[in-house]
């Protein structure tokens, strides 16, 4: 195996300013070279990797739930926007509209929200599959849109993605052994002769029997396919795994097995995880932090244990009421019209569905406001009765 070389982050005073408690952290190994462009995500073309300018870096980075963690965040998203042209380019749809969040090494973050809230778009921006229209996406000390080829390779290995359509993401003509060997070979993480043993190690790690090595995707069950997808992500030796609805559509028992696997992996390996889900139960089980999205914005974020037991934002509260729970009275679906994302009303975007809405909500678009370890974007947040 090649020697792992760890370079210091080109941390500048500006980057350090992102959070007064943050300091430069190593960015991982640089050993990958000559990766075929086709296998890298379609990140932007080469631009040098300047750190942010002092003026720009004045943007405050939220560090909800991360106060005690001194390292530079793995990801910092600063007022990120992503617009898509619609109606033949006459109008624009803001799939992301001023998203601010951070993710630190080893953290698990659930992105929750109804369909169309921007969860997948946010994930695609973090993966470099989409470029933000405005705002800044920092991966460690690097601006994602300005990374050079080497930094892009490093990002592509360190940020592993588990596709929603796990079966569709696997080449049906390759057996599991070849599917797992591919990223190891690609990123030059092991000598050729060490690869079979590493593949067996990965199979064991995700709870698949050794004979799975010779199976093709068509011979695997839905749960087994997802385990192979998890093993392929682990094969990259990532710092963060991003999973978009990875357990959706599975039998409850298989879903539970997979959730246990992901939770154990996250706890044992210290890999950070971003988990997109519609399911608040999954978020609560798997992730220490949660970000609730509504129409392109994060409207509430913080520790899952606090947010889901004591929501401040009426949308989070409504989501929880609409979530079916075993042995509980029937859930109440969120009522009211969802505004069109290309024609948002002035003021708060949740006003048409909010039982707490007042006149001010039609005029002022609430910003995310810090309250202890958490943040909520609401002019009249819910307060627990004393
Ligand atoms: N390529 C695109 N062109 C135009 N609009 C898009 C595009 N991709 C996403 N959108 C719109 O952006 C918004 C956010 O979409 P996104 O897929 O991120 O939502 P989501 O939260 O992942 O939803 P779901 O839970 O259904 O997967 C939606 O209104 C969607 O229609
Ligand atoms: S700002 Fe007003 S409309 Fe928006 S969530 Fe808060 S109370 Fe409801
Ligand atoms: Mg989605």
**Structural domain boundaries, residue 329:** 301-376
Atom 6 in ligand 2: residue holding the nearest Cα? 378
Q: Are residues 235 and 305 in the same domain?
A: no
Q: Mark which of 294, 313, 329 sits at the end of a domain.
A: 294
Q: Indicate whether 288 belongs to any domain.
A: yes
Q: Would the pLDDT of 28 be above 80?
A: no
Strand order in the sheet with 374-376: 159-162, 240-244, 272-277, 108-112, 289-294, 297-303, 374-376, 369-371
pTM of the model: 0.82
Domain boundary, last residue among 277, 294, 311: 294
Co-location of 255 and 108 in the same domain: yes
Q: Considering every ligand atom, which ligand is closest to the CA of 368?
A: 2
Same domain? 59 vs 95: yes
Q: Does residue 225 sit in the same domain as residue 328?
A: no
Question: How many Cβ atoms are within 10 Å of 159's Cβ, its own excluded?
Answer: 24
7 within domain boundaries: no
Ligand nearest to the CA of 126: 1
If one counts the domains in the chain, the total is 2
Backbone CA torsion sign across 189, 193, 197, 203? positive
Neighbours of ion ligand 3 (CB under 5 A): 120
- What are the C-alpha distances in Å from 2 to residues 32, 38, 144, 148? 9, 23, 26, 22
Residue 212 sits in the same domain as residue 190: yes
Using the 3D structure, point to which of 266, 294, 322 is the last residue of a domain: 294
- Does residue 268 have a pLDDT over 70? yes
Tens-digit pLDDT profile for residues 279-303: 888 899 899 999 999 999 999 999 9
Same domain, 139 and 245: yes
Q: Is 4 part of a structural domain of the chain?
A: no
Q: Rounded to a whole number, what is the distance in angstroms from the first to the last CA of the chain?
A: 60
Same-domain pairing of 48 and 113: yes
Phi and psi angles of residue 359, each rounded to the nearest 5 degrees, phi first: -55, -45
Residue 221: is its pLDDT beyond 80? Answer: yes
Q: Are residues 320 and 340 in the same domain?
A: yes
CATH of the domain at 120: 3.40.50.300
Q: Are residues 283 and 237 in the same domain?
A: yes
Write the pLDDT tens digit of every residue in 305-314.
Answer: 999 999 999 9
Same structural domain, 265 and 128: yes
In a domain, 1, yes or no: no
What Cα–Cα distance (Å) separates residue 55 from each residue in 16, 17, 52, 289?
A: 13, 11, 8, 30
**Residue 19 is encoded by which pair of tokens?**
């959070």
351: Cβ below 6 Å to ligand 2? yes
Which of 33-42, 269-278, 317-326 is modeled with the greatest confidence?
A: 269-278
Lowest mean pLDDT among 54-68, 192-206, 216-230: 54-68
pLDDT in tens, 118-158: 999 999 999 999 999 999 999 999 999 999 999 999 999 99
**pLDDT bracket for residue 5 (50, 70, 90):** very low
Q: What does the pLDDT read at residue 384?
A: 67
């Amino acid at each position: 195996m090649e020697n792992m070389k760890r370079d210091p982050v080109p941390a500048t005073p500006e980057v350090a300013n992102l959070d007064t408690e943050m300091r430069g952290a190593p960015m991982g190994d640089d050993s990958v070279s000559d990766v075929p462009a086709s296998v890298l995500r379609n990140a932007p073309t080469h631009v040098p990797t300047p750190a942010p300018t002092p003026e720009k870096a004045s943007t405050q980075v939220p560090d909800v739930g991360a106060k005690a963690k001194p390292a530079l965040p793995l990801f910092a998203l600063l007022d990120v926007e992503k617009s898509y042209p619609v109606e033949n380019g006459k109008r624009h749809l803001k799939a992301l509209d001023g998203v601010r969040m951070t993710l630190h090494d080893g953290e698990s973050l659930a992105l929750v929200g109804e369909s169309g809230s921007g969860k997948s778009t946010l994930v695609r921006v973090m993966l470099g599959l989409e470029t933000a229209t405005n705002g800044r996406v920092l991966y460690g000390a690097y601006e994602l849109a300005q990374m050079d080829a080497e930094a892009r390779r490093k990002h592509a290995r360190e940020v592993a993605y588990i596709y929603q359509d796990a079966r569709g993401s696997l080449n049906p003509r390759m057996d599991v052994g070849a599917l797992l060997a591919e990223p190891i070979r690609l990123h030059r993480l092991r000598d050729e002769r060490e690869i079979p043993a590493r593949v067996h190690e990965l199979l064991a790690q995700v709870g698949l029997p050794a004979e799975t090595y010779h199976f093709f995707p068509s011979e695997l069950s839905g749960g087994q396919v997802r385990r192979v997808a998890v093993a392929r992500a682990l094969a990259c030796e990532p710092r963060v795994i991003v999973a978009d609805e990875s357990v959706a559509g599975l039998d409850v028992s298989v879903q539970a097995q997979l959730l246990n696997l992901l939770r154990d992996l996250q706890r044992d390996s210290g890999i950070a995880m971003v988990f997109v889900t519609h399911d608040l139960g999954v978020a609560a089980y798997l992730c220490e932090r949660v970000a609730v999205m509504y129409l392109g914005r994060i409207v509430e974020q913080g520790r899952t244990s606090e947010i889901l037991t004591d929501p401040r934002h009426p949308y989070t509260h409504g989501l929880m009421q609409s979530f079916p729970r075993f042995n509980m009275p029937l859930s109440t679906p969120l009522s009211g019209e969802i505004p069109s994302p290309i024609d948002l009303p002035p003021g708060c975007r949740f006003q048409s569905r909010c039982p707490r809405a007042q006149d001010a909500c039609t005029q002022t678009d609430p910003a995310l406001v810090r309250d202890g370890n958490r943040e909520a974007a609401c002019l009249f947040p819910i307060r627990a009765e004393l």
